[in-house]
Amino acid sequence: NAGVTQTPKFRVLKTGQSMTLLCAQDMNHEYMYWYRQDPGMGLRLIHYSVGEGTTAKGEVPDGYNVSRLKKQNFLLGLESAAPSQTSVYFCASSFERYNEQFFGPGTRLTVL
Amino acid sequence: AQRVTQPEKLLSVFKGAPVELKCNYSYSGSPELFWYVQYSRQRLQLLLRHISRESIKGFTADLNKGETSFHLKKPFAQEEDSAMYYCALWGAQKLVFGQGTRLTINP
């Protein structure tokens, strides 16, 4: 099993450009999450999904959109990237709400 | 609102010394608390959760509801314990992380 995978690993964008980060899991988990990790701030939840076709806002959703069209995939979109979105993005999944979350390797995004 | 505070950004101890990573939380309900760890060049992974009350890699953590704390402890630190440690709280539909503590074990 690959677990949780993220594509791409690195990306550099210019302000105003758009992109989509892909998260895939092969563990048949219902719950999926997108976090951003910034120095001194820990991990903050951007959006999450409790099942195929559902999405919900987390702590810092502004500037991001998500979709969960298939159970195994959770996409994070930036419509118009800003330098404040420079961060490391982590995807995670879990079987149920209080279960252990399994994390992907992260995507390092730089917005110039 | 739920909140997790890890007061130490950096913690450095010598090999063989005891180590304690502090975690305080605020939450009006019954908390589900976790410690996650990220070793160098590895993924973030679960270290332990309070509900299972187990010791993982020699680490233990006790939930103190009176002091709203969930400190992580190990009696004898090893060099391989050097990592970033995050305390996290499940509440109100999401997992909230503390700011993290970078633990360095000196030889």
Shortest Cα distance, chain B CAs vs residue A31, angstroms: 11
Helices (H) and strands (E) counted in chain B, each on its own, are 0, 11
Do B13 and B19 touch, CB atoms closer than 8 A? Answer: yes
Report the mean per-residue pLDDT for chain B.
92
Q: Which residues of B touch A56 (CB under 8 A)?
A: 93
CB-CB neighbours of B53 under 10 Å: 11
Separation between Cα atoms, residue A64 and residue A47, nearest integer Å: 8
Position B6 scores a pLDDT of: 96
> What are the φ and ψ backbone dihedral angles of B53, each rounded to 5 degrees?
50, 45
Shortest Cα distance, chain B CAs vs residue A81, angstroms: 25
Residue A103, pLDDT > 80, answer: yes
Position A33 scores a pLDDT of: 96
B20-42 pLDDT, tens digit per residue, is 999 999 998 888 899 999 999 89
Q: Which residues of B touch A43 (CB under 8 A)?
A: 44, 86, 97
Residue B107, pLDDT > 80, answer: yes
Position A2 scores a pLDDT of: 81
Beta-carbon separation of B86 and A59 below 8 A: no
Residue of A nearest to B6 (CA): A42
Beta-carbon separation of A42 and B93 below 8 A: no
Q: Where are the alpha helices (DSSP H) in B1-107?
A: none
Separation between Cα atoms, residue B97 and residue A20, nearest integer Å: 25
Residue B51, pLDDT > 90, answer: no
- Give the amino acid at A24: A
| Residue A39: band (very low, low, confident or very high) from pLDDT cuts 50, 70, 90 | confident
Nearest by CB to B100, which of A42, A59, A106? A42
A75-97 pLDDT, tens digit per residue, is 999 999 999 999 999 999 999 88
- The dihedral through the CA atoms of B10, A85, B34, A100 has a sign that is negative
**Ramachandran region, residue A42 (left: φ > 0; alpha: ψ -120 to 50; beta: rest):** left
Shortest Cα distance, chain B CAs vs residue A97, angstroms: 8
